[in-house]
Amino acid sequence: MQIGTGPEQFLWAVGIEDTFVPQVASRTGRVLDEYELTQHYQLWREDLALAASLGIKTMRYGFPWHIVNPAPGVFDWTWPDQVLPHLIQELGVEPIVDFVHYGCPLWLEREFANPDYPKWVAEYIHAFVERYRGLTRLYTPLNEPLITIRFCGYTGYWPPYLRGWRGYVRILMAVAEGMSRSIEAIHSAQPDAVIVQAEASSSNACDDPSLADDLAFLRRRQFLPNDLVLGRVNDGHPLANWLLHHGAQPRTLEQLLARPQEIDIVGANFYPGMSCFKLERHNGAAVRRRYYGGPAELRHVLEAYHTHYQRPMMITEISTTGSVARRSHWMHDSLAVVRDVRQAGVPVVGYTWWPLFSLVTWQYRRGQKLVESYLAHMGLWDLQAPPEGSLRRAATPLVDQYTSAVARPRESIGDLPVVRLEG
């Protein structure tokens, strides 16, 4: 297959935050369903029209697994049957279908730690692709494996609430096997499908030479989920023994190695306030301190991903919190980085401003305040809560700024020759 990397083929995109954690938080009784909280279920036609008004032809868009697959082997296509034809045929926007955005359906006990998780997620994805393959071709099997692994397996923040490195590796191996089987399922239903894998990128730096090994571990670990899916983790991989030491099953490692999958476009999600870390020593231990980064850190991430994967890349999420002016500066600066690295030969083929409008922060699930207290303004439109209760989409100057960038791609992101991929 060919992926065009000239400015006219560039994948300009947006996305609507679609985190779904339907399991009830024990202390608050709350669930995290972004579409419900932002009223997208009611206003989806209006929201998709806003996206299309930007002049984009591509959009990352998720479907709630817990609603579409409400019981084992049972599928309710009501939602995608409405949304997909409207988005594609009426609005002319091609979705990058986002299958799993952190959560599992309620019937899947122990969620990602369920031994049958890889089977169930692959079954769901196969059924979806088989039904809609005439409409769609771009797919993300699972958004941000690293965040899923950390919150579900290491910090105990989300179900199944595992902690520590053994929990981390348990969820890592389940997620990797699920992604691998999902990609197989996609291609079995649609051989010409394009896999766009979105990962939470990070820029990790350190000024202390005594922490060189810790820094190397951090940098290698950020590639581990995709490395497993790509069949790169063999006995010689620098983290192979670490995986075994923390509970990875040799049989699963062997299966992933024996059945490598292809990722057509490697996606990097980057936020200057969340993706930049400095490694420091504190009380004798190596700790990561988050700091607000900028263009240099984004460039470092894109170059590191290109060096590691040697595949076309896409910025699958980018934005920043704060004022409209801050967001505007970051859009300008981040697009300048894209233009610079493309001129240097790094094949960035797409850019996604995420989200389209404000999102509800994940603290809502564990909090007790009204939903409007948890709004994070990161989008092109700001959500506002007028007295009548409906969340209003208020356009910001970023709408015109992004529309202008999309309309003038050669000026915005420059040129690059065609990149060939193995199909």
**Taking 60 as the threshold, does the pLDDT of residue 328 lie above it?**
yes
**Could you tell me if 288 and 218 are in contact, meaning their C-beta atoms sit under 8 angstroms apart?**
yes
Would you state the pLDDT for residue 175? 98
**Pairing relationship of beta strands 392-395 and 381-384 according to DSSP bridges:** antiparallel
Would you state the pLDDT for residue 421? 43
Range 20-37 average pLDDT? 97
pLDDT digits (tens, 9 = 90+) for 114-137: 999 999 999 999 999 999 999 999
Would you state the pLDDT for residue 275? 98
Domain boundaries, the chain: 2-420
Q: Hey, what's the torsion of the CAs at 315, 320, 326, 328, to 10 degrees?
A: 30
Range 87-109 average pLDDT? 98
> How many whole angstroms separate alpha carbon 57 and alpha carbon 406?
10
Res. 342 pLDDT band, cuts 50 70 90: very high
Would you state the pLDDT for residue 417? 58
Would you state the pLDDT for residue 389? 75
**Taking 60 as the threshold, does the pLDDT of residue 422 lie above it?**
no
**Taking 60 as the threshold, does the pLDDT of residue 304 lie above it?**
yes
> DSSP secondary-structure letter at 15?
B
> How many whole angstroms separate alpha carbon 152 and alpha carbon 22?
14
Helix 324-343 crosses helix 398-407 at what angle (to 10 degrees)?
A: 20
What CATH architecture does domain 2-420 belong to?
Alpha-Beta Barrel (3.20)
- Computed from CA positions of residues 199, 99, 63, 34, in that sequence, does the dihedral angle turn out positive or negative? negative
Q: How many CB atoms lie within 10 A of CB 284?
A: 5
Question: Any bridge partners for residue 139, and if so which?
Answer: 97, 195
Res. 8 pLDDT band, cuts 50 70 90: confident
Q: How many residues does the chain have?
A: 423
Token duo for residue 397: 């100057």
Encoded amino acid at 13, one letter: A
**Taking 90 as the threshold, does the pLDDT of residue 419 lie above it?**
no
Would you state the pLDDT for residue 191? 97
Res. 1 pLDDT band, cuts 50 70 90: very low
> How many whole angstroms separate alpha carbon 17 and alpha carbon 395?
17
Res. 362 pLDDT band, cuts 50 70 90: very high
**Could you tell me if 271 and 202 are in contact, meaning their C-beta atoms sit under 8 angstroms apart?**
no
**Could you tell me if 47 and 82 are in contact, meaning their C-beta atoms sit under 8 angstroms apart?**
no
Res. 6 pLDDT band, cuts 50 70 90: confident
**Taking 50 as the threshold, does the pLDDT of residue 423 lie above it?**
no
